[in-house]
């Protein structure tokens, strides 16, 4: 079956391009990227933050979870820290907006 017939797939990469726009526009202002390793580190960090936001997570909470969890588990269990894991979603989800109920 052709992937174009799958309605779940996006036909463009506009969402991904919007996600990296801020990084691309501000790249000259990123003073800590004096080396290829610095640029790679910032790209990894930015990628983690954007992936968290794309999965409905609070980036701060997700990074906190990663920094606290990953040093204490073997690499074989890193998949448990992925942003689409139900446990991660429960811990780091963006809170639902409170609605006032008129009575």
What DSSP string describes 29-63? G-TT--SHHHHHHHHHHHHHHHHHHHTTB-HHHHH
The rounded mean pLDDT for the chain is: 81
CB 50 within 8 Å of CB 16: no
The reported pLDDT for the residue numbered 98 is 76
- In angstroms, the CA 39 to CA 63 distance is 19
Split at pLDDT 50, 70, 90, the class of 8 is confident
The reported pLDDT for the residue numbered 23 is 66
Structure tokens at 79: 């998949």
Answer yes or no: is pLDDT of 5 > 80: no
Domain ranges of the chain: 13-92
The reported pLDDT for the residue numbered 55 is 92
């Amino acid at each position: 079956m052709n992937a174009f017939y799958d309605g779940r797939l996006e036909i463009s990469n506009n969402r991904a391009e919007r996600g990296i726009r801020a990084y691309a526009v501000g790249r000259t202002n990123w003073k800590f990227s004096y080396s290829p390793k610095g640029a790679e580190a910032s790209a990894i960090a930015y990628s983690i933050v954007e992936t968290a936001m794309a999965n409905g997570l609070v980036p701060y909470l997700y990074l906190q979870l990663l920094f606290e969890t990953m040093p204490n588990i073997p690499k074989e269990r890193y998949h448990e820290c992925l942003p689409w894991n139900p446990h991660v979603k429960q811990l780091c989800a963006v809170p639902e907006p409170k609605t006032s109920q008129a009575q």
